[in-house]
Each structure stands twice: as structure tokens, then as C-alpha cells.
Structure 1
Amino acid sequence: MIRHSAERESAEVDTYLNEVLGLEIPELEAGREHAHDAGLPRIEVSTAQGKFLQLMAEITGARRVLEVGTLGGYSTSWLARGVGERGQVISCEFEPLHASVARENLQRAGLSERVEIKLGAAKGSLENLIAAGAKPFELIFIDADKRNNVSYLELALELSRAGTVLILDNVIRGGAVLDDAAEHGANEADVRGVQEGLRWLRDSPRVSATALQTVGAKGWDGFAIARVL
């Protein structure tokens, strides 16, 4: 009962913070609702987390941002706001419906000129960017299927330079990160992928990393954040 109360109150705090800080952008919130109406899963970042991504792009001075996992384009929109009019976000999405909805939402928000969505398996899209000699990205946000976290991190590193910031989403998973992955049945591969991704960040000599727990509208979860050395 105490835990349920804490979860409820943390969501209410998120609502308060959104209001007192004026975080909600009407065009972006309309896009979120459009994605839900289209049947996309309600797993996008929260409003406060979206603003966090925008600020990370602005603080790092990023003009090239890579996103793995577009969904309905909500986090993509915040990142696009962060790179500014001369910046670019390349976002990788596997599901055609997700990509279509995201393009509609970006158009509604007036951000479509800053974003290129690459449709297909993210691993292949990242490999194609490397093969094409893509310029390094200053910020990379990974929020896709967790079982492939290590592959995404390895490829992201090849698309980085010294100082690039890597953000890996959903690394706490309601505390499941502590468990034997086999305990989670259908979600075993995702839990294992999170654990392996964290160990990769620990063991890679080319990054300095930490992780932060979060609570709020998205429940109990967190980010891992790393800087390429």
C-alpha cells in the first residue's frame, strides 16, 4: 500500500512540475495523443524527460543527434527542438506505423525539416550510417528493444567522437535490473539486455558512465548516461 501511494504521488509531482515549470508544448502533447489514438504503445518519455533531452542537446551544443527508437516522435520532437534550426536529428524506427505517425507529429510541430527517420532494423540503419562515413553525432539517445542494447552501444561508439554523450533509457525497469533475467519470462531478453548494456558501459575503456533512477509518470525507471572519452 505504501509503494502504491508513493507511485501515485510521484506521478502527481510530475504533473505539478509540468505545470509550475510550464513544460508542456501544445503541439507536442497533441502529437502524443495522436500516437495513442493510432494505437501506439504508451511508452514514450514523460514531458519532463523530454525537456531533459532538449536540455542535454542544448547543453552539449549538439547539432547532430542520433536516436534509436522513434515511436511516435515525441522524444524526437524534443531533441529536434534542442538542436535548433540548423541542427539535424536522425531517428531509427523499425515499425512503419510508428514512423508514419512520427512524421505526422513532426510536421504538426513544425520540426520535420530537422528530422530524418530511417525505417528498418536499427542495427542495419546504424551500420549503413557507418558505411556511408556519416559525420559523428554529439548526442545519441538509445530507446529501442533492450535486448540489442550492446549492439546499439557498440555501433553508437563508432558514430561518436570524444565528448559525445550517450543516453540509454529504461535501465531500472521497476527494479527488474536486480533480478536474474530468467525470472522475467517473456521479458527475459530485455532485462538481460539492460544488464549487459550496463556492464558494457562499465567495461568499455572509451566511455565514462553513470546511471540515475527516476520516478514519476513513467513509474520507477532510469537513464544511463555516458561521455565518450
Structure 2
Amino acid sequence: MAEQQWGAVDEYLEEVLIGSDPALDAALATSERAGLPKIAVSATQGKLLHLLALTVGARRILEVGALGGYSAIWLARALPADGRLISLELSPAHAAVARANLHEAGLEKVAEVRTGRAVDSLAELMDDGAEPFDLVFIDADKPSIPEYFDFALRLTRPGSLIIVDNTVRGGALADASSTDASVIGVRRLHELVAAEPRVQATTMQTVGVKGYDGFTLIRVVD
């Protein structure tokens, strides 16, 4: 019953606060037809990402984990006309869907999807001397989250936000004895964040159409 109620509340909030959006709806439909896993952020989470990007006045956004481009659309829409979003995706098939969805949403001029291992793409950004990003959204394989966070910290500036999704793992985050690689990854993230004087952070538990999970919000301060 609890999960049904969480879903019903999310549906209500989406109807009242977001409404129908042809580009976003089409992105989900295209992703489903292409056989992508149904693990994109929810509409309410997407709206939160959009609002956070607007709040920090983001001009440059980095996303680790494009999937079908649903969250990238939310983020890219917060950018000014001369802004830039770079989304990293391991799967060439998923990246192709994301590019098509961004194009259909009219965002191809501000958003690009790069294919390959995220650690390699992140290293390339470092080697190229990439201009700091104002917001980084990490929504990729959890065992590699600590490494992604390390890169994100080096690719941002004081005042930037780093957002890491799915960090509560249905409550397993609190299980110090877990042997699950994803749980170990998010626990290590929290240890790194707690020991890092250059950031301030909190993790929020969430419930909704995606069940019980949460996200970590990190602000770079130095």
C-alpha cells in the first residue's frame, strides 16, 4: 500500500506542478520503444534538477549517465542560449537514443552526448583543460561513483553543485556489512564527502514512482 500511495502522490504532483510535456513524453516513449531500461529520473526529480540548475545560474552542465536523454532535456532547458551540456554515456545504442531525443526537443545546439567509458571521457575533459562546470549530475554505475566524484570535484569550481542519484539503495546505504558493489560504492562516496573539506553535502531519502531511494547534494565551497 505504501508504494501505491507514493506513486499516486507522484502522479498528482506531476499533473499539478508539471503537466504534459510533448518533448519529455516523446523521450520516454522513444526510449521504451528502443528497449532502454525504465530507470530514468521521475518527472518530479527532473523538475528538481531543472530548478537547481536555474538556481545556480548554470551555464555549463556535465551529466554522467545519459540513458535516453530524459534528464538531459530537463537540465539543458535550464541553460542560456550560449550554455553547454555534455552528457556521457557508455552504450552507443543508448547514446543514439539520447541524441535523437535531444534533437527532437530542439536542444542539439546546447547539448551533446559523448560515448565511451565515463572515466575515459572525464579524463579527456581534464586533459583538454575543460572550463569548470556549474553543475554535475551523476547517475551511472554505482561501484564507480567514488571515481566519478573525484573527477567532478576537479571539474567544478566554488559554488558548483554535484548531484549523485540513487545513493540510498532502498535503505541498504546504512548496512556496513553489505557485499553489494553498488552499496559499497555509495558508502565510499559518503566517506569521501565527509572527509573532503572542499565540499558541504547532505543526502535526502526519497519515495515515489521509483520506490525508495535518495540522492546526495554536494556544494563545492573551495
Task: Please indicate, yes or no, whether the TM-score normalized by the shorter chain is above 0.5.
Answer: yes
Name the residue aligned to 1:185. none
Misfit runs of 4+, over 3 Å: none
The letter of the residue matching 1:145 is D
The CA deviation at 1:24 is 3.8
The CA deviation at 1:29 is 1.2
The CA deviation at 1:22 is 2.9
The CA deviation at 1:23 is 4.0
Name the residue aligned to 2:178. 181
1:195 aligned to which of 179, 187, 210: 187
TM-score (normalizing by structure 1):
0.94
Count of matched residue positions in the alignment of Structure 1 and Structure 2: 220
Distance of aligned partners of 1:23 and 1:130 in 2 relative to their CA distance in 1, 3 Å threshold: farther
% identical equivalent positions: 49
Structure with bigger helix share is: 1
**8 Å Cα contact 1:138-1:164 kept in structure 2:** yes
Name the residue aligned to 1:72. 68
- 1:179-214 deviation per Cα after TM superposition (whole angstroms, max 9, x unaligned): 2222xxxxx111110111111111111110001011
2:142 aligned to which of 142, 146, 149: 146
Name the residue aligned to 2:207. 215
The CA deviation at 1:85 is 2.1
The letter of the residue matching 2:198 is R
- 1:101-138 deviation per Cα after TM superposition (whole angstroms, max 9, x unaligned): 00111111111111111110000101100110000000
Q: Give the distance between the partners of 1:145 and 1:43, measured in 2 at CA.
A: 12
2:192 is equivalent to residue 204 of structure 1: no
**8 Å Cα contact 1:91-1:117 kept in structure 2:** yes
2:22 is equivalent to residue 50 of structure 1: no
The letter of the residue matching 1:25 is D
The CA deviation at 1:84 is 2.9
- 1:148-194 deviation per Cα after TM superposition (whole angstroms, max 9, x unaligned): 11100001111011111010100111111122222xxxxx1111101
The letter of the residue matching 1:189 is A
Residue aligned with 1:101, SS = helix
Name the residue aligned to 2:114. 118
Structure with bigger strand share is: 2
**8 Å Cα contact 1:207-1:228 kept in structure 2:** yes
Ranges in structure 2 where 5+ consecutive residues have no aligned partner: none
**8 Å Cα contact 1:24-1:47 kept in structure 2:** no
Q: Give the distance between the partners of 2:20 and 2:199, measured in 1 at CA.
A: 33
2:55 aligned to which of 59, 77, 82: 59
Superposition map of 1:20-99 within 5 A: 20-99=16-95
Q: Give the distance between the partners of 2:134 and 2:12, measured in 1 at CA.
A: 32
The letter of the residue matching 1:140 is V
The CA deviation at 1:42 is 0.4
Residue aligned with 1:163, SS = strand
TM-score (normalizing by structure 2):
0.97
**8 Å Cα contact 1:168-1:224 kept in structure 2:** yes
The Cα RMSD (Å) is 0.9
1:163 aligned to which of 151, 159, 166: 159
